[in-house]
Each structure stands twice: as structure tokens, then as C-alpha cells.
Amino acid sequence: MEMTTLTTLAGIVEFAVPVLFAAIGENITEKAGLINLSVNGTIILSAMGGFVVALTTSSILLGFLVGAVIGAAVAAIVAYSSITLKQSQVAIGFVLAMLCRDLAYFLGAPFTNKPGIFLSKVPIPYLVDIPIIGPIFFNHSLVVYASYLFIIIAYVYVFKTRPGLMLQGIGEKPAAAFARGANVKGLRYLYTITGGALIGLAGPMYSLAVKIGWAGQLSGLDGIGWIALAITIFGGWNPLRVAIGAYLFGGLQQLGITLQSATNIPIQILQAAPFPLMIFTLLLVNVGRADWVDRELAAMPERPRKVLSKILHALRTSPPSAIGVPFENE
């Protein structure tokens, strides 16, 4: 396989990592029954904050820590507003998304386009020498390797552990979970803030590893959070499917970069291309629920009807039953 192709595929893996962390963070939050719509602003603010701290302290670790703290703090506001004050999760999330974005552009203005430190690639000995697979998966920075483990850990935790089953319980049937002794509100706080910290990590992953540096409104981060929210839905609130969605988005981003260098298509069009494609994907995921689809399938010959039915069933997703619904029994 040509080196250019291998580089492109490696780029897909790299571009997927920040949105993967953000989407799984939102997945955990929504599994607990809350919706955090501040994701877009949180990513931008944490990207700026992480870059500035890493630049001024010469510590990449501190940059990532600050990103996580910013994400956790914003999520804590969402949790307090919705759980304790019982305000609209959607309204609070939208307001915070816009506030964090504008705050990042304002506070980050003095640091725009300043050269900073970044995570270097750390090829894994022996594994990087494996033909094809090695250059694609094992010639990256540490955050990419961490993402491989993170996907597995998130899936096992949610679906194979007792705390994970409790997490599903407070998002599906909080009253039943409460009757079994679960502190529903406390756990919702915990998972919302934990999910927010993961979302916050996505910011410095961009500014310190993937899209290195801070360029203000030209950083190309505005909209990434909405993509992460869309991937959460596409993934059916399952970390493995969320990861697939993140890699698909990484592929679209890498395709845009490749086309921009090979054609005269304006970069603004290529940067915007993933967003309508993700909207189309969401429509595809949910189209199987429409009554007219059942009628059209019923009128088709048996073989194509079975094939399409299986595809639509595989794509169909269902949100946690109690998502966005305040819990009143405590």
C-alpha cells in the first residue's frame, strides 16, 4: 500500500480521537438521564484553556488537566441547573455553549497563533513495523493509544459491570433504581460531571495534539461539539457504535483535507461538508421508525424487503427512557 494512503488512514484515526472522547463523554451523561448541550462551547473553551496553560507552564499534562477541569465545571453548572434547580436542560446547554465559545475567543485573543508545545508521536516498537496496520494504528501520540483502551473500558463499564448497570438504571427507570437504593440525583451529578471532564479533554486533544495551536475563530473547532452530539445518537448510546461514528467523522475530515490539496474547492465548503453528511446519517438512523417506511417495505419483493429491514433494524436507535426527565422522588 502506498505511503500516501497509509498516511491518510493514520490521519483518520488521529482526527477521530477528540470527537470520540467528547461523544463517549456525552454518551455517559445521557445514559444517566441528562442532556449536556454545552459540548460545542466546552470543547472550544477547553482547547483554548489547555493550550494557554500548556504554553505558559511548559506542561502538556497541566494543559490536559485544565481542559478536563473546564469540562467538569461547565457540566456541573448543567447538572446543578437541571437536577437541583429543575431548569430546562436544553436551554441551559444552549446558553452555555454560546457563552463558552465567545469566552474562549475573547480570553484567547492574546494567544492567537502563538507557537506552543505539543504532543509528539511515540511509535510503538515492533508493532509499528507490522505491514499496513503498524503505520496506521501504532505511529501516533499517546492520546491516540489511550483512545483504544478508552473505547474498551467505556463499553465494559457501561454494559458489563454492576455500576454500569446502575448507570443504565438511573437513565432508563430512575424510580426503580431509587427503590433498589440508588442515589439517583447523586449519581446523575457524578456521571454528568465525569462526562463533562471527558468532553473537556477533547479540547486540548485538538490544540495540543491534532490541530496544534490556538487560532481563535480560525481554529476550525466551532461545530465539532454538535457533531459529537450527533455521533452519540448515531451510536445508539453504545460506546462501540459511538467509536465507529467518530472514525467515520475522522474519515470525512481527512477526505476534506485531501480534496482541498488536490482541487480548487474552497476550504470553507470542505470544512462544512461533514455536517450535512452527519445530519443525513441521523435521518438514516431514525427513518426506520416512520410509518411510511413500513408501508413501502410491505410493498417490496420479499428478498430486498428482508435486506432493507435488517439494515434499518441495525441502524435503529432508542434513547434512554428517562433522558431529559427530572427525577422527583427524592
For 46-72, the pLDDT digits (tens) are 999 999 999 999 999 999 999 999 999
| Percentage of residues in the chain having pLDDT higher than 70 | 89
Q: Cα(27)–Cα(22) distance, rounded to whole angstroms?
A: 8
Distances (CA, A) of 93 to 192, 218, 275: 12, 23, 20
Is 154's pLDDT higher than 90? yes
Is 24's pLDDT higher than 90? yes
DSSP H or E segment with residue 75: helix 60-79
Is 130's pLDDT higher than 60? yes
- Backbone angle region of 113, left / alpha / beta, with phi > 0 → left and psi within -120 to 50 → alpha: left
Task: Identify the three-state secondary structure at position 32.
Answer: coil
Say which DSSP state 82 is in.
I
Q: Are 214 and 114 in contact (CB under 8 A)?
A: yes
CA 31 to chain centroid: 14
Q: Are 282 and 233 in contact (CB under 8 A)?
A: yes
Q: Are 46 and 71 in contact (CB under 8 A)?
A: yes
Distances (CA, A) of 212 to 47, 50, 63, 142, 266: 10, 11, 13, 15, 22
Is 242's pLDDT higher than 90? yes
Domain boundaries, the chain: 3-315
Q: Report the chain's mean pLDDT, rounded to a whole number.
A: 89
CATH code of the domain made up of 3-315: 1.10.3470
Q: Which of 206, 191, 195 lies closest to 64, judged by CA?
A: 206
Name the H helices within 161-273. Answer: 162-172, 174-179, 184-205, 224-234, 239-262, 267-272
pTM, two decimals, is 0.91
For 253-307, the pLDDT digits (tens) are 777 777 766 677 676 666 666 667 667 767 777 766 666 777 777 778 878 877 8
**Cβ of 262: how many Cβ atoms within 10 Å?**
8
Q: Which of 177, 37, 170 lies closest to 94, judged by CA?
A: 37
How confident is the model at residue 288, as a pLDDT?
A: 63
Encoded amino acid at 11, one letter: G
Which of 47-51, 77-81, 216-220, 309-313 bottoms out in mean pLDDT, i.e. has the lowest?
A: 309-313
- Backbone angle region of 300, left / alpha / beta, with phi > 0 → left and psi within -120 to 50 → alpha: beta
